[in-house]
Amino acid sequence: MQDQTVNLKILANDLVSKMKYLISLGSNIGNGLKNLSDAISMLEEKSVSIDDCSSVYCSAPIDYVSQADFLNVSVLAETDLEPDQLLNTLKCIEKKMGRKKTFLKGPRKIDLDIIFWEKGNHHSDMLSIPHKEAMKRLFVIFPTLEIIENSPHFEEEKEKLQEILEEEKEQFVGQRIEKVCPFEIKECLK
């Protein structure tokens, strides 16, 4: 009987469906590359596996501009967590890394946002997917497109982002972003 129970547990675990998410990470306090690496490692520790990671981009702050530039990456993640559960995990990581709420759009040691979910839209009191600001921010669009360009996931989102870049260029006037370097994800997961 005990063997059957163990087999049923294994079978139940295999049936748990993993879901793909696109997560944006940013940092402009302290060692940004280390902060991004630490956050990715913590995601892995929390059963959020990272399938792909963009290059590192440096972007000027938006809205509140009297602060340091940000380092940004996007990751393609897979987990069995539902959207609100994943958001809670991201907030726990931010807190553990020492993120303190200063003021809206202010400096931050780490910022983790769910941009897209493979199942499409999600709306709750805590979270909206797609992220409300994603389509307005080059620091989200460029790293995200880099990941999903050759991916079988997020086809509709890829088309929408490309369309926005082509047809709504004027909304990006004043936003500065540049690709800095590849982000060696294997180094983060050691």
C-alpha 108/C-alpha 26 separation (Å) is: 8
CATH number of the domain at 169, please: 3.30.70.560
Helix (H, G, I), strand (E, B) or coil at 102: coil
Whether 12 maps to a domain, the answer reads no
**What is the model's pTM?**
0.86
**What is the total count of domains within the chain?**
1
Domain membership flag for residue 11:
no
Determine the pLDDT at residue 48: 96
State the pLDDT at residue 185: 61
Is residue 50 situated within a structural domain? yes
Domain extent, residue 126, equals 17-188
Q: Is residue 82 very low, low, confident or very high in pLDDT (cuts 50, 70, 90)?
A: very high
Angle between helices 155-167 and 138-148 (to 10 degrees): 130
- Of 93, 97, 91, 26, which Cα lies nearest the Cα of 62? 26
Averaged over 124-128, what is the pLDDT? 92
Residue 25, helix vs strand vs coil: strand
Express as a percent the part of the chain with pLDDT over 90.
Answer: 61
pLDDT at 32 over 70: yes
Which of 190, 185, 177 has the alpha carbon at shortest distance from 75?
A: 185
Query: Is residue 8 one of the residues assigned to a domain?
Result: no
